[in-house]
Structure formats: structure tokens, C-alpha cells
Chain A
Amino acid sequence: MTFPVVALPLPPPASRVPGPAAPLDVQRIREDFPILHQRIRGKRLVYLDNAATSQKPQTVIDAITRFYTVENANIHRGVHYLSEQATAAYDQAREKIARFLNARSSAEIIFTRGTTDGINLVAQSYARTFLKTGDEILITGMEHHSNIVPWQLVCEQTGAVLRAAPITDAGELDIEAFERLLTDRTRFVAVVHLSNALGTINPVKRLIELAHARGIPVLVDGAQSAPHLQVDVQELDCDFFAFSGHKLYGPTGVGVLYGRQSLLERMPPYQGGGDMIMTVTLERSTWAPLPAKFEAGTPMIAQVLGLGAALDYVSSIGLERIAAWEHQLLTFATERVVGIDGIQVIGTARNKASVLSFVMEGVHPHDVGTILDDEGVAIRAGHHCAQPVMQRFGVPATARASFAFYNTLEEIDSLVNGLLRVKKMLA
């Protein structure tokens, strides 16, 4: 299979073609996820911790097993059959991802360890190279630590200053404040697409327009959005987009950084080693073209193939249908949980997806999590790697239920019943 290396538009994948979205057959879909069929502490597993990591369909598990059983070889090296096959499969997965994000070319798709790795790559290769003392990097007050700390590190290295646009009581970005913070000193913007702690969907297209009007490149943290929203990097016009495989029904240890080709070309390598070079002498080396320039060493081949299988699975259902069902789940869960006296939802933005964060009066989220676990209901309790968000809302932690398209309305009933038990025991 060949792939255009110049900026030719790719044909739209089936899931992108607009059409009437048939409702999901959730029971059928659940059959594809073996882990959902077990009992936890004698109760049926109700997995509502999808923002932490999603479960894997059998096709993903099979792709990884098949690779290690009959396909395993290193890529871009051997002249033997297995290596050629593995190389072709690896490159094909990259093309799938380019189509999934609607990138102009697969040269813009860099495999990483995950979202965190992708953001660190941009911080160290782009920001560290091009920023200097007094320059500013703008983020928001609802970032995950992975979209804060890499910028703090690069600020220490370059003398640049990190600014954060505030959020409102509803957990929405204060767009006017964001606009005011875009100044002549701003050299880079990094924003989360879908907040893992609040569920807020940021108007990233608008934010990118505002930044681009000043010639400022923008990175979008897509860790939570890639599994739940249809992402089109050309339509967003973002310069970088990072996501993780494991939140998108794929394996851990693999992620993707999309980068605009013209920027990736200007950036120096992030890591040096095998596979990323053109020539090496003991005096100096030259770099391989994109995307290899940013992929030093033997990559996570099995995980990349697993991610490819995950994208095939997601595309076979269609993100529009996935998003429509998840919206129903979130709406239903929000109504039911808000109906419990003493529960306050943290994050009440108008535009939300997949995440329901809340606190129960007089009860610590850890106790909520432990008692729900006894009911077989898995949620997250804690600061969600977003301590500034917790500080903004004056809570040490929240309880968070986060949904995926394999969740059912009955599972939300289990969540609510569990919360009533928590209340009875502790409140």
C-alpha cells in the first residue's frame, strides 16, 4: 500500500461519511470485550474508569497475541520474510492513524509512548529550541499534570514563563481571559481538548484561530478526546495533537503525536539512536526524514499493531455513534447522580463528554471509591493528576465515573445504588 507524502487530501474513511447514525447494540458490543464478563467481589464488574484506561476488544488482544505467536521480527532492518511483513504492518498502522486523524500525510504521525511522551517531545524539541528568556507559553487552568510539568521544565531550561488561562465556576475556560493572555510575548499554546477531571470540551478550534491570528503554534492534548470525539486535525488546524493508545481501546505503551509537517521538519530530533539517522560517522550524523527522525530505537511494534486493530474496531462502529451513545450515558448518569441529596457535580460545562466528577457532602471520595468497589463498580477517586483543578474548586479530590460506549444504563443504576449505600453508611 502506498501513501502520499505530499499534502494530498486522503479519502474520507467510512465513519467520516455523514449519515443517519443507527443506535448501538451495546449488548453485542459487550461480547467483544472479554474483561467485562467477570465478577469482582462476587458482583458483576461495572467498569466506569474509562478515563484512566479503557478496556480492550478481543481483536486488539488477538492482534498482539498473533504478532508474538507468528509475526514477531524487528522492523526496518531485516531482509527476511518476517521482518518485511512486520515492517509493512507497522507502516500500515501509521497510515490508519493518519486517516483516523485526517492528517495530510503519514509523515506527520509520530509513534510515542503515550500522550505524556508526545507533549514532552514537543516541549523539548520545539519549545526548548525556539523559545528564549521572557517568551511565554500559555496553557489553561484545567490541564492534566502532563500538560503542565513538561512546560515548567522547558521554562526552567529556557527562561520562558508559563501562563495559565483561568476557568469559570462551571469548569469552562474563560475565553476572554485566554484571549487577553495571548500577547506579543506568547510563543506557544498548549490546551486540553476534553478535561479528564471535569469532562469539559474546550472550543479548541476557536482557541487555535485566536492563537494563529498571532502566529502562535498550538498543541492539543487529545488524551481524552481521541476516544470520544471525532478529531480532524486539518479541520481543527492544530499544529500538534497528542493521544494515548490505551484510552482508545488499544494497548498501553503506545501513543501518537500528530505534528504539522513544516514544524516537524524544523525541529531537531528528540532522542538519538538507531532508525532515526540517515548516516552516522564518529564525527557527525544526519537525520532520517519524517517520521523516522522522531522514532529512535526499536519501537513498540506489537502495541502499534494493537492500536491499529483498535482503530479498525472503533471505525467499524463509528465515532459519531459512539459519541451519541456516550452522550446519552452521561446525560442519564448526571440526572441520576444529581438527584442524590448531598452530591455536587464538579464540572458543569455546557459542552461535556464522558466524565462525571462529583463530591458527596461529608464523605471523602476514597471512601466512595472503596464502597463502590465492594459493589463491583470501578471508579476513580483522587485528584486525577489535575491538582490545580482541585485547588480551583477547593476540594482535595473528587470521585469520577467515566463512560465508554460499552457501558449500559443498568450499570449507571448500579453506580447510583452504590452511592446510596455510601450515603447510608457514611453521610
Chain B
Amino acid sequence: MPLPRGAGKIPAIAHEPDPPITSPTGAWDELLTPSGDARPHAEPLVGYLRELGLAELRARQELASVDILAMGITFTVYADGQNIDRAWPFDVVPRLIDAAEWRVVEAGLEQRIRALNAFIDDVYNDQRVIADGVFPAELLERSVNYRPECRGVRPKFGVWAHICGSDLVRASDGRFYVLEDNLRVPSGVSYVLENRAVSKRAFADLFERYSIEPVDAYTDELQRLLLSLAPSGAGDQPTVVVLTPGIYNSAYFEHAFLAQRMGVQLVEGSDLVVGSDNIVRMRTIAGLQRVDVIYRRIDDLFLDPEAFRPDSVLGVPGLMRAWCAGNVAIANAPGAGVADDKVVYAWVPDFIRYYLGEEPLLPNVPTYRCLYDDERQFVVDHIAELVVKPANESGGYGLLIGDRASPEERQRAVAQIEADPRNWIAQPILQLSTVPTLCEGVLEPRHVDLRPFILSGEGEYVTAGGLTRVALRRGSLVVNSSQGGGSKDTWIVSVND
């Protein structure tokens, strides 16, 4: 029996968020308007949830959790001195985005990655961006992700960051902002595909009411991209491999998943050898076999003990030689991380104007660079109203949210900033949008972000939606799965009327 809105056991569906202003309490809800009505693109879903009732929704959540365990969808965490496989945390209530809105986001992401690749190619070659005074040379010299070993290399299509995961947030003004671009070894895409598989089972009947853009094409697009990168020395059927640090890596599930979907070898560093001819080969049951394209999921510094960290046991000695000689393609290219830097981030809108002659379609979050005295002073004076981030940490580590920190924590942060200003940026505290989420048996609004994945080669491809991560603790803005975050399926939906 349909429950009246706002009555019975699903109060959260009818929760009334505060007016959408930039205050910590005024979040934008992805499914509901401030008065508690469904947003137009979410009407069928919200109606469906009301019909379903909370008890049945809980049952569906249970079933989804069982599916996740049985399908072996896991991520690995390091706890109690060992690596533990945890079931992937998933909330059944999907996050919906209207297709018309998504077309704009997609165009913005494609524009952004074109500019980022142009920047990376430029800094490793002509450095016009510095000569023209757009980007300060000193920042490049001090970037921890800048690899002088990559100078003069010209990867195919001028593309360095072939796979990018950009984190988007929707602020209380209802607009999407880019929070950061992950250009090193972004992870999470396998969960986009698996979340869909799970929600198809959990809400089989709901899929009849919506036209939802499929996400499955990603692995085909990725394979097409990787094949297109093969060097000219490769044969008609280039050999593509996925290079993983191994089963103890937190994203191993994803590495195996992607290799499996593409039907390519999942290799570890010890499976590969580079000869004095600078050709990469893998050890197979028939002897050594040439490798043409490596989709690496190992950080730069561990890639090649000859070129980078000599203590790396994950990498392949001589890999950089082979890459510089043009005998193997590596995605993402070594050094691509130079643009994956929370300080460089602040210049991306300028790069879009400089390289493409276009205005950015997707805005950056306003960013204060502690490198500059005036901006640093502002950060120190207003630290309680800002989020302070180290430039080169991922996973939410080292992050300080000013209004939630104690005075001692804020003092410590100020000291850290003053000791090494270049390593710190600050941004206004954004009120991340929310989605109703099943928490301890009831639906409550929880903050979410969104990580779409962008592929770049000859052209660009953007996933239909991406990975919605959700902060499961009430009021929390930290969405990382390693720190208690969960995930939701993301649906790009068309409203047919």
C-alpha cells in the first residue's frame, strides 16, 4: 500500500533541507527539493521508494549486500597489521542526474582533460606556458610529481593522462564544481560497473520505469584506447597488459576486473623483463613474449628501480628506457601526475583559456594558494572557514576541515602551512550535496561526491555518470572508502514527457 509522503516509516524521504545557501547546513539534495518534493528527474524513483516502503527497502539492501559478498566485490584495507578484504560498501538508493545536465558536465570534462594533456605535453617539451608567463617556473621545479626523466618524450596524440578520474561536487548553489583531477592511477571505475550490476538485481522492476544510460561500454572504450596507443613496432595484434602491484594492493580487485573485462593479461612487475634492446617482454609458458602497451596501476616512483626508487620490488628495471625509446606505451604516461597536484589545480581554468582559447565549462572550486603571501595570510586568518589540504596526498589524508577542527588542530595546521607553504592550498568549505541513504534502517540525507572517468586518446570518452561516493557518518564530508565512505550507483536518466 502506498504510504503518504512524509508519513509512516520513511521520514527522511520527506526531510526538509535548509534553504540552499552556502552555510554548512544548507545542502542541495540530489533527489528532493527543499520542500521535500521529488526533483523532476527523480520522480519515478522517489515514487517507487515510497511504494516499496522502508521494510522492503531494507530487505533489498540486505540482498544487495549478500550479492556483493558472493560476487567477491571487495576492496583491501590495511588493519590490525594485515591486509583484509572488505565487502564493497554500497547503498541501494541510487544517485540520479538528469541527462541534459550531464551533457554539459561531459563537455566540461572533455574540455578540461584536453587542456590538462596540453599542459603536461608542454611542460615536458617546449614549456611555452612558462615562457608566456601563464604558469610560474618555480612551481614546476618544486612539484613532487614533475619527472625530469620525461623531458623530450612525445607520447602518441600528445596525450599523457589517458585515464583521468575527476572528483566533482555539487555545492549548495546546485552547480557542479571540479574538486580535483586524479591523473596518476585513478581507481574506482570497476565499482561503477559492479554497482550497476548489483542495483539491477536489487531494483529489477525499477529499471522498467526509467531509461538509464548504460555504463558497461567503459571497458570496451578502454581497450580500444589502449590498443590505439601501440607503438609502430607492434604487430597487427598488439599485446596489452594491466600492470598491478599485486593482490595486497587496495585496488587489486579493480586491476583484475579490468584485465578480465578486456581479456588481457594481468601482470606483476616480476612477470616483465626489459632486454638490452629496450623491448619489454613478459615471461610466459612459451618463453618471453613482447608487450606493446602497459596500463600501469603502479605509481611513477615504483615503476622502474633503474630510473626511480631503487628499492622498488613492484616495478620493472629498464621500463623507462623502453618507454623513452618508443618501444612501449605506458598509460598513464610516467610524469602525467605533474598536473595531478592540488596547487597546479588552481591554474587549470587558465590552461583552458591558454591552450584551447575557450572559457571553462565546469568551474573550479575557488582555491587559495599558500605559496603567495597574501593568499596564505588569508588562509591563516580564516582557517576556521576553510578546508585545508596538502597538495599531494590522496585518500583524504592530512585534510583539515576548519569549522570541525579543534583550536589545537587548527594551530597545528597553521604551523604546517608556514613551514612548507607550497604544499598547502585552502578552499571554502563546500556544502556537498546529499542523497537519501539507508542508515541504520532509515533514510537520511548523506553527503556525496562524484568521480567520473575520462579516457583520452585520439578523442575523449566520459563514463555515463561515475562513482558516487557517500559519507555514511551523519554530517561527515569524507567519502573515501578507506575512511568509512560508501558508494551508490549513479544513474544518468532522461525524463520522457
Verify that A and B bind, or say they do not: no
Chain B residues close to A by CB (< 8 Å): none
